[in-house]
Amino acid sequence: MTTLSENETETKVVDFASNDNTRDDAEDNTQDSENSALFKDISPDNVFTELESLCMACEQQGVTRLLLTKIPFFKEIVIMAFSCPHCGYRSNEVQSAGQVQDKGQRIELRVGSRKDLNRQVVKSEFATITIPELEFEIPASSQRGQMKTIEGFLRQTIDALAPDQAERQKVDPESAAKIQAFLDRLENCAQGNEVFHFIVDDPSGNSFVENPFLPLRDPDMKVSHYSRTAEQSALLGLTHDESVGDMALKDLAQMTMTGRADEATPGSAQQAGADEEPDEEGFNYKSEVMDFPGNCSACHAPVMTHMKIVDIPYFKEVVIMAVSCDSCGYKSNDVKAGGAIPAKGVRLTLKVSLPEDMSRSVLSSTTARLYIPERDIEFSTSTSGGRFTTLEGLLDDIVANVRQYPFLMGDSSRSETHRQVDEFEAKVNELKSGKVPFTFVLEDPAGNSYIQNIHAPEPDPTLTSEEFERSFEQNEELGLNDINVADDHTPNSVFVSEGS
């Protein structure tokens, strides 16, 4: 498969989806509408583009077909397929054209049946696939982005190693025997006769493994998110020769806070209240909006991120951040709780029995999971970011996220999956009416989630809060296992309570 930069020879466009009239109309549209027209939702009716390109096998002219499309969660992608009519060489590739996610992602699936082998997998060019039982790994650098089933990845490896076995047997019989033993086990796994774990580790967060139990949680699949290392960020092109610490200091030095006496912008800050004292420079962080520069994650144009600290009564301070790009129209917002991480996690349980309960304010952090036992609903908010909304708004967000499941559209969609999602949405709509009593559980290992107590400061008879001990895996995801506070004797500088 050759990239466009390798095609130094003649490049001829054979088919485009627009004519002269649409081209003239497009010149009057905004960049946001141009992008949406360029990357359309995946569908059998999508129009592809053909390019004449050089075949790297026979050095004759072949044809590369390009399809620019959108898959929810996986964002925009470019699907490329090359074929050579002279020598028969064929290849395909998937490249992500969307943004790099905030965190890396690790997906671990226990493959124990033939159905599991048919699960579809979207592997980005930065992802690594491993099978621990076979001590087998497909490094990120060895393959480009691909979209296949799990069996397809196993067959691809078998097809790559098997043809050279006869030659290896002549040159190095011992190595050939070991490779043959490995191929036998790989074939056994590909036929579903052996249980194994299929792990996709993607620092860009743009890989995906199909969940056939949607919208319920997959009991055989574990998805975790992690902060990227400096090396992984450099691989993604997010850092240059600077270290992460140097870049953080540089960003801090460039940070602009509107509302300071020498940098104030009209309308960018609120007047400080009488009970909120400003700092030595006259800046009140509780009442004023802070702005700092950055780049749009969609089009990389310069944007300003607005940040405001809000004090939630009977809870804690939270940080609300919002970004709006004037160039492409991209908008994003996030809510993060401030303060220290408590020694234990918090589990909030609300008995919903009245329509008024739908109007309760809810803060769901990025580390929280929510449960509705009566409807077998379990949902992680890590993929959708922090939310400060009502209970009804949170249920709407859950339905919207499920509707964006990648394999609900195009050739990979299944009628059974559509039926499951329709049933799930009907269940949630029934709960939103407030006429059906149910239990809403919000579990947060970081203790940064909140459900409004409408009887405050008195106890709420329908709302209970309990603490629980975090597991090692939960502490690992929060980054607490590597924190060393043994040498820090400053009373107010410990971020995690002792014993956490």
- Give strand ranges (E) for 97-255: 104-111, 120-123, 128-131, 136-138, 146-149, 196-202, 208-209, 221-226
As a whole number, mean pLDDT of residues 394-403 equals 82
Contact 50, 41 (CB under 8 A): no
The answer to which of 18-27, 103-112, 128-137, 349-358 has the lowest mean pLDDT is 18-27
Q: Which residues of 264-279 are buried (b: 16+ CB within 10 A; e: fewer)?
A: eeeebbeebeeeeebe
Contact 347, 368 (CB under 8 A): no
Distance set, CA 221 to CA 65, 116, 214, 429 (Å): 34, 11, 12, 27
Positive or negative, the Cα torsion across 288, 293, 296, 301? positive
Q: Quick: pLDDT tens for 275-316.
A: 455 555 555 666 678 888 888 876 777 888 888 887 776 667
As a whole number, mean pLDDT of residues 149-169 equals 89
DSSP state of 274: T
As a whole number, mean pLDDT of residues 473-491 equals 68
Q: Quick: pLDDT tens for 177-216.
A: 999 999 999 999 999 899 999 999 998 888 888 888 877 7
Paired tokens of 3: 């990239």
The rounded distance, in Å, linking the Cα atoms of 280 and 287 is 15
The rounded distance, in Å, linking the Cα atoms of 66 and 77 is 10
What phi-psi label fits residue 231: left (phi over 0), alpha (psi between -120 and 50 degrees) or beta? alpha
Q: Quick: pLDDT tens for 412-433.
A: 566 777 777 888 888 888 888 8
Please state, for a pLDDT cut of 90, what percent of the chain lies above it: 16
3-state secondary structure of 484: coil
The rounded distance, in Å, linking the Cα atoms of 106 and 123 is 12
Considering 101-105, 127-131, 287-291, the range whose residues carry the highest mean pLDDT is 127-131
The rounded distance, in Å, linking the Cα atoms of 288 and 282 is 11
Considering 98-107, 177-186, 238-247, 309-318, the range whose residues carry the highest mean pLDDT is 177-186
pLDDT surpassing 60 at residue 135: yes
Q: Which residue has the higher pLDDT, 258 or 443?
A: 443
As a whole number, mean pLDDT of residues 454-478 equals 87
pLDDT band at 482 (very low <50, low <70, confident <90, very high): confident
Per-chain mean pLDDT for the chain: 75
The per-residue pLDDT for 252 is: 44
The answer to which of 49-58, 469-478, 487-496 has the lowest mean pLDDT is 487-496
Positive or negative, the Cα torsion across 104, 110, 114, 115? negative
Q: Quick: pLDDT tens for 14-59.
A: 333 334 443 444 344 444 444 445 666 666 677 788 889 999 889 8
Q: Quick: pLDDT tens for 80-90.
A: 889 999 999 98
Q: 415 burial class (0-12, 13-18, 19+ CB within 10 angstroms)? A: exposed
Considering 108-117, 142-151, 325-334, the range whose residues carry the highest mean pLDDT is 108-117
The per-residue pLDDT for 248 is: 44
Amino acid of residue 488: D
pLDDT surpassing 50 at residue 493: no
The rounded distance, in Å, linking the Cα atoms of 384 and 335 is 11
Q: Which residues of 11-34 are buried (b: 16+ CB within 10 A; e: fewer)?
A: eeeeeeeeeeeeeeeeeeeeeeee
Q: Which residue has the higher pLDDT, 382 or 2?
A: 382
**Cα(first)–Cα(last) distance of the chain, in Å?**
51
pLDDT band at 399 (very low <50, low <70, confident <90, very high): confident
The per-residue pLDDT for 271 is: 39
The rounded distance, in Å, linking the Cα atoms of 467 and 343 is 9
Q: Quick: pLDDT tens for 360-390.
A: 988 888 888 888 888 888 877 655 567 778 8
Model confidence pTM above 0.85: no
The per-residue pLDDT for 273 is: 42
The per-residue pLDDT for 247 is: 46
* E strand or H helix at 161: helix 150-161
3-state secondary structure of 4: helix
The rounded distance, in Å, linking the Cα atoms of 13 and 48 is 11
Paired tokens of 65: 């077909």
